[in-house]
Amino acid sequence: MKTTTRLFSRQTQVLGTWSQLSAPEAIDILAAAGFDFTIVDAEHGSFGMEAIENLVRACDAGGVVPLVRVPSLDQAQITRAFDAGAHAVVVPGVSSVAEARRAVEAGRFAPHGSRGACPCVRAGGHWVDDWRTYAEASERDTGIVVLAETPGALADIEGICAVDRIRALMIGPFDLSVALGLQGDSRHPDVVAAIRRMVAAAGRRALPVILPIFAPDLAETRRQIESWQADGVRMFTVGTDKILLHSQARRFVDALRT
């Protein structure tokens, strides 16, 4: 079984994508295509917790590691995502050391954190008769991924990467470019320099980095991945389920219209 512990410790390339469609069948397809993980996007996807739980079920069935991006740094949302079976929770918009610590605490049971505890949740098989073993497994195999995508995060990146128990640092190139006034130009030299600064800070802490690549074509995606691999990045998301569907559909339509 794939777990985040194994995923984040791999020394070879790890490929994931984003799930924004409320369709378990789409997860089935991503699994059959060979993706290592997907991020169920509860921030920008138009679905709620019931759909998230079903998408996580599909990930488990297909052997794709399910990460869930919650809409915000909110204790209840983080607890519910873990209860639904998320192997890791991606917390967006973390802009300071204090927020990174809050996120980590929200994902851990007492006495280490403030995650709500209930034995009757999907993550525990809907009834946990050995709470200590379940809690220890949750502490070992799940965790928080901090999404750094603001100028505040960039300014405080060394401290954020030093926060104990963060499982990985995810960088948001598109949001960061918008926040810097560059309107989505994630390849602008200022954005690339900011990403390199974040990657270097994570590297000094041996913290895995997840980097989204939203390049418009396969050749450019490959070029960017190879470039970032030279900087030590090994975990990438490519496209989204929507982008992959649109790209393949557009390729067929363009080829067949004469």
Residue 1 above 60 pLDDT? Answer: no
CB neighbours of residue 190 within 10 Å: 13
Close Cβ partners of 198 (under 8 Å, ≥ 6 residues apart): 148, 153, 154, 157, 169, 171, 209
Average pLDDT of the chain, as a whole number? 95
The mean pLDDT of 101-122, rounded to a whole number, is 96
Task: Tell me the sheet residues that pair with 171.
Answer: 148
pLDDT tens readout for residues 136-171: 999 999 999 999 999 999 999 999 999 999 999 999
pTM score, two decimals?
A: 0.95
- Whose tokens are 């975990």? That residue is 235
State the pLDDT at residue 173.
96
State the pLDDT at residue 2.
65
What phi and psi, each to the nearest 5 degrees, are found at residue 236?
-135, 145
Provide the number of structural domains found in the chain. 1
Q: What CATH number is attached to the domain comprising 40?
A: 3.20.20.60
pLDDT tens readout for residues 78-110: 999 999 999 999 999 999 999 999 999 999 999
State the pLDDT at residue 100.
98
Domain interval for residue 229: 4-256
Are 169 and 146 in contact by the 8 Å Cβ rule? The answer is yes
pLDDT tens readout for residues 201-225: 999 999 999 999 988 789 999 999 9
